[in-house]
Amino acid sequence: MVSHISKDCTPLEESQGSSSGLKSPFPHVKDHHYQEMKASGIADDIIGLNIESCGESKAYSNLLYSDKFSRRNGGRLRDRDLKKYQHLKDGGWWCGAGEDLLNLGEQSLWGCFKPDKPRRDWTKPDKNKRIKYETPPKEPTSVFALNVPPRIAAQILGSYGFDPEANQTFWRFVIDNTVVPIVITEGAKKAAALLSNGYLVIALPGVYNGYRSIKDANGKVIKRDLTPELKAIAGKDREIYLAFDKDTKLSTKTGVDAATWQTGRLLKAEGCKVKILSWDNAKGKGCDDLIFKHGKEAFDEAFAKAVPLDVWKARQLSVLSYPANIQMNREYIGELEIPDWVRLLAIKSPKGTGKSTSIAPIGQRAIAQGKRLLLLTHRIQLTTALCKIFGVSYVSDLASTKLSKVPGMGLCIDSLHPNSQAHFDPSEWEGCTVVIDEVEQVLQHLLNSKTCQKKRISILKTLFSLLKVAERVIIADADLSDISLKYIKNIMGVNPFVIRNDYQLEGANYYRHPNKESVITKVDHLLAAGEKVLLLLAAQKAKSPFGTQNLEDWFREKFPELKILRIDAESLADKTHPAYGAITKINEILLDYDLVIASPSIETGISIDIRGHFKAVCAIANGVQSEASVRQALARVREPIDRHVFVSSFGFGTIGNGEVSPKALVASQNKQLKYNLKYLAQFASFDYLWHLEEDNEIENFQPDTLQCWAEIVCRHNAGMIDYAEQVFTNLKEEGHKIIDFDPEDTNGSTKRQVNQELTQKKNENYLKERIAIAEVDPFQKESSYQDSKKKRVKTKSERYRERNWEVGRKWGRENVTPEVIEMDDKKMYGKLRVLYYLTEGQKYFEQQLTGIAEIFLEEGAIFAPDFVRKLKAHKIEVLKALGLDRLLEDLDSGRQLRNSDEDLIKIKKKLCHPQTRRDLKSIGFGTFSEKKTPIQVIQQLLYNHLGIRTTCLDKDGKMNAQGKRDYTYGLEGWRQEMKPFFDYWLKVDQEKRLKQLEKKQVAPRPPTAQPLTQESNTIEHIFRQKVKTILSKLENHDPQDLRNYIRAMMGHPNWGQFATDVLAGASTRIRKLINQLTEELLACGVLV
């Protein structure tokens, strides 16, 4: 320890330049240790207070002080420990931890020792690897809160009112004043370097030492907590900056990133504002290297550019780390000369730098050489725009008889399968060039959109085949990342040729508005002043007050003399609308309008190059688009005119369970998949499912695809956290200036008026639309509906007929009313279906699951996210396990609910248990707060998962023993409300059952009296093996449970396939049990 060192100790001189040859000004610090500290940019007064050179005796006393060591009677260490630490005799330097943050005013015993001759680390594969730093063994780790000299204390805390002469230590002042920001780094030297340069810093001994992992009896981590020292410095609104090493080795970087995230999120949970520092690792691995090599200014720059934790997390999944074969800095990419041997060309270049026009000549040369060209995107409008640039036709504009012969065409990824209008056969495209523009969004659409769900397996198989036979694949995106490039690279099995353009477009002023109404008011003022505006919105439908349709009507009423154009998915596909065909000639059409209101239909694939027409681009991003999509849309206008933008604080469009860890998300999907398959195996034979498991396809279907899906989903989910900060931080990184907009409406009257008017407009338009849908002349058969869906161009009436059919198919033809359409819009269908199968339709639940599984398995494989999303076995079973089915029966009988009810308290206790909460969150069941009352937990369950609400039966309540009012709740009339829907669903299920019986496709049900036990949960695996494997399992099974095990096995529908061979090869004991059970099961009619 160095507590004896005088706090008045001052340096003789500050060194400049190289540290070699410097003499230590301190008697307790040797020259070579002093030189090492100066090489990390550490000030002399910090060295003097915290560093001490140690000989053998001092090293032993500082490091090996734990009373947990086994010692001899005289206190001497055992020989094995003396041998292990014999290297201490050569000395080294010691840095004490400084002040003990848990006992302020006292020096910590803990610290770290750097031996001059470190010992080998025998736990590593490389036996020559040395242990660079040692901390006291058998003692819990702490943190470095180094002793700070008065000069630096005044420099760091002077502006916060710290008085070094007052009776208050430096670290007590820091803990008591959460306004003081703190940097957290790794290692004593880095802490000393940052303190020397005026930064308040705490150092961890290692990146994983900021938290403790709490494990259950099986060794599984169930909880993570901050260390006590970090909890002591954490506080509401405290700014924390994490500055860990920038490693280049992938495995090390992955570990550091994981530790950064865990530490950061735990600090954030304590109320801290957490930011992450980044810098180019070529300038230095650690912050001390950065400062020594490039000066304090380099760290100051990194500190100023630190990004919020959630922005950093999203960026980790947005990085392109592949080295560039061609690196440029151009406003426009220009023509590209690509070597003939290149099979995979990847281009990352900012929006508006001409990616498509640079790629087009490559595609056109391929066609000129007699090779075919295929353009793949995720939007029709984007595809048609690209087709115009490349000089080929969109698939719908081609006769189906000529598709196999056309030299080139454009296609949405949704149609990349044999049964689409393209009748796509990858064997016909051997040697072609494939261009995938906006590849990041194309893959997100492919792997997660509902429009691809029914044919996703077929599309994925076709894509794999196509990329393997293509001569060249070109992918491009302004936000190209490792995720997309790695996925395409792995399919093709080739290394990419990467072009990276680092040009930064001319920045614009982005005015950050506090609310949606403020943006609309700004548009109003600009139009009133005679200016022209482009207004970008996230919604288009009549049910959204701030959607394109309602705002178009609102502005038309206010400015009847202005020319207003609405561009959204509906108007672009309606031949009678002025927006029809606008995408391919966008720059000519926009010149004719004063106000253009656009949906995300134009967020990619177009370039608005006109100048001097629009005064401003205004936008409302309400959290349903990805943050990258928001930036894409804002960049469509290339002119750097003012942008007026509102972005919601948080996004609302998380996918799956909201997970941000790809590894955890994949594990969750596999867990749910296996559960659903086990559940199905209890009552369905699935011969084709059996065959797939035999080939091991189900769990392993395109593992790269599942990993890519998980990474894309986690990036999206991370982008939804602190959504506004994500958008504006990334816009700033692109070179734009962010300015907080201060609306003139200080009392909020204009905001209220705008909101009321738009809400009224929404109510009017939405009711008209629902009535029109309900009263439209409906289709009479499914084929008519399918024919209409295939049409690219359709009128509003045709869209209404499609919606009428969709609602009727789900809720019943006679139930298509404006009220039911609203329920459908509110996503009530899925919730009420769960309610139905938990109550009235319980006996048909297995039939429903079987039918869904059959649809998914028709294509011979399962994509886990789709399968898990559609089957609800896990959700139904959780609700049953909680007793919701019994509770609903009680409520039907007139039961009233109170917070004091024991069963409700038990349900809350189950849901709020840490392990249960983790498990439920992992399967997308939501989380339940311990702060909620039992009634509130039940209300959350009933509405979020079953779509029904309780009502308060006594508004005054009664005083309970704790002096609080206890209110009574119940369910009134829910069955009567559900009756029309339940009757329809029962009718549908009964008809399905009859059809199955007629076709004799009902599989024999296994015995239900003896459910599968935990030990027999590998039955379906056993039946995938040969007879020899089955016999081995039987002979080695626990004798006490062997009878139950064999009974469950015999109940499996495929038992007959192996029964004879198993009996022939089994021991006498096994044969006897099988014969006994066969007689019993035949007698009770289970076997036939």
Number of domains in the chain: 5
Give domain status of residue 320, yes or no: no
Dump pLDDT digits (tens) for 407-428: 999 999 999 999 888 889 999 9
Give domain status of residue 279, yes or no: yes
What average pLDDT does range 374-391 have in this prediction? 90
Helix axes 662-681, 914-922, angle to 10 degrees: 80
* C-alpha–C-alpha distance, residues 766 and 775, integer Å: 14
407 and 273 fall within a common domain = no
Greater confidence (40 vs 748) lies with 40
- pLDDT of 109 reads 93
- pLDDT of 2 reads 33
- pLDDT of 1040 reads 58
Residue 689, amino acid:
L
Residue 655's pLDDT band, with cuts at 50, 70 and 90, is confident
- pLDDT of 749 reads 80
Residue 674's pLDDT band, with cuts at 50, 70 and 90, is confident
Task: Assess whether pLDDT exceeds 50 at residue 692.
Answer: no
* Domain assignment of residue 236, given as a range: 31-305
604 and 731 fall within a common domain = yes
* C-alpha–C-alpha distance, residues 466 and 175, integer Å: 61
What average pLDDT does range 334-348 have in this prediction? 94
Residue 805, amino acid:
W
**What is the CATH classification number for the domain harbouring 526?**
3.40.50.300
Give domain status of residue 842, yes or no: no
Dump pLDDT digits (tens) for 21-77: 789 999 999 999 999 999 888 999 999 999 999 998 898 888 988 888 888 877 787
The proportion of the chain whose per-residue pLDDT surpasses 90, expressed as a percent, equals 50
- pLDDT of 1087 reads 54
Contact 713, 659 (CB under 8 A): yes
* C-alpha–C-alpha distance, residues 239 and 270, integer Å: 11
What average pLDDT does range 797-820 have in this prediction? 95
Using CA atoms of 116, 122, 124, 129 in order, give the dihedral in degrees to the nearest 10: 30
280 and 388 fall within a common domain = no
Token couple for 595: 């106000």
Task: Assess whether pLDDT exceeds 70 at residue 1020.
Answer: no
Dump pLDDT digits (tens) for 444-471: 999 999 889 888 999 999 999 999 999 9
- pLDDT of 1041 reads 64
Residue 3's pLDDT band, with cuts at 50, 70 and 90, is very low
What average pLDDT does range 900-919 have in this prediction? 86
- pLDDT of 1039 reads 64
727 and 768 fall within a common domain = no
Give domain status of residue 1036, yes or no: yes
Task: Assess whether pLDDT exceeds 70 at residue 164.
Answer: no
Greater confidence (770 vs 307) lies with 770
- Residue 1029 host element (H or E): helix 1027-1036
Q: Which of 72-76, 336-340, 745-749 has the highest mean pLDDT?
A: 336-340
Dump pLDDT digits (tens) for 232-257: 999 888 999 999 988 877 778 888 88
Residue 1055's pLDDT band, with cuts at 50, 70 and 90, is low
In SS3 terms, 965-990 reads as EECCEECCCHHHHHHHHHHHHHHHHH
Domain boundary among 439, 472, 501: 501
- pLDDT of 430 reads 94
User: What residues pair up with 733 in beta bridges, in sequence order?
Assistant: none
How many CB atoms neighbour CB 37 within 10 A? 27
Task: Assess whether pLDDT exceeds 60 at residue 1021.
Answer: no
- pLDDT of 486 reads 94
Strands 951-952 and 969-970: antiparallel
- pLDDT of 243 reads 93
Give domain status of residue 663, yes or no: no
Domain boundary among 743, 777, 804: 743
Residue 1015's pLDDT band, with cuts at 50, 70 and 90, is very low
Token couple for 729: 């931080």
How many CB atoms neighbour CB 681 within 10 A? 21
User: What residues pair up with 112 in beta bridges, in sequence order?
Assistant: 95
What average pLDDT does range 698-714 have in this prediction? 81
Residue 434's pLDDT band, with cuts at 50, 70 and 90, is very high
Torsional class of 376: left (φ above 0), alpha (ψ -120 to 50), beta (otherwise): beta
| DSSP at 332 | S
Backbone angles phi and psi of 223, in degrees to 5: -165, 150
- pLDDT of 728 reads 93
Residue 919's pLDDT band, with cuts at 50, 70 and 90, is confident
- pLDDT of 859 reads 72
Dump pLDDT digits (tens) for 195-242: 999 999 999 999 999 999 888 777 777 788 999 999 999 988 899 999
111 and 154 fall within a common domain = yes
485 and 584 fall within a common domain = no
287 and 419 fall within a common domain = no
What average pLDDT does range 426-455 have in this prediction? 93
147 and 214 fall within a common domain = yes
- pLDDT of 499 reads 96
Q: For 463-482, b where at least 16 C-beta lie within 10 A, e where not — what string?
A: bbbbbeebbbbbbbbbbbbb
Task: Assess whether pLDDT exceeds 80 at residue 1079.
Answer: no
Backbone angles phi and psi of 617, in degrees to 5: -105, 125
Contact 864, 705 (CB under 8 A): no
How many CB atoms neighbour CB 652 within 10 A? 10
- pLDDT of 1001 reads 43
The residue to which tokens 């990390």 are assigned:
40
287 and 366 fall within a common domain = no
Task: Assess whether pLDDT exceeds 90 at residue 487.
Answer: yes
- Helical H segments across 275-324, by residue range: 287-294, 296-304, 309-316
130 and 66 fall within a common domain = yes
Task: Assess whether pLDDT exceeds 90 at residue 849.
Answer: no
Task: Assess whether pLDDT exceeds 80 at residue 153.
Answer: yes
- pLDDT of 16 reads 39
What average pLDDT does range 506-523 have in this prediction? 94
Give domain status of residue 408, yes or no: yes
Dump pLDDT digits (tens) for 349-376: 998 899 999 999 999 999 999 999 999 9
276 and 371 fall within a common domain = no
Q: Which of 20-29, 396-405, 922-931 has the highest mean pLDDT?
A: 20-29
* C-alpha–C-alpha distance, residues 629 and 600, integer Å: 8
How many CB atoms neighbour CB 232 within 10 A? 19
In SS3 terms, 165-197 reads as CCCCCHHHHHHHCCCCCEEEEECHHHHHHHHHC
Give domain status of residue 517, yes or no: yes
- Mean pLDDT (the chain) is 85
Greater confidence (1005 vs 147) lies with 147
767 and 739 fall within a common domain = no
**What is the CATH classification number for the domain harbouring 222?**
3.40.1360.10
Domain boundary among 782, 816, 850: 816
- Nearest one of 638, 323, 281, 736 to 500, comparing CA atoms: 323
Greater confidence (256 vs 874) lies with 256
What average pLDDT does range 1002-1026 have in this prediction? 40
Give domain status of residue 524, yes or no: yes
- Residue 537 host element (H or E): strand 533-537
Contact 457, 397 (CB under 8 A): no
Task: Assess whether pLDDT exceeds 90 at residue 870.
Answer: no
The residue to which tokens 């409300």 are assigned:
977
Residue 813's pLDDT band, with cuts at 50, 70 and 90, is very high
- pLDDT of 691 reads 39
Task: Assess whether pLDDT exceeds 60 at residue 697.
Answer: no
What average pLDDT does range 1023-1033 have in this prediction? 57
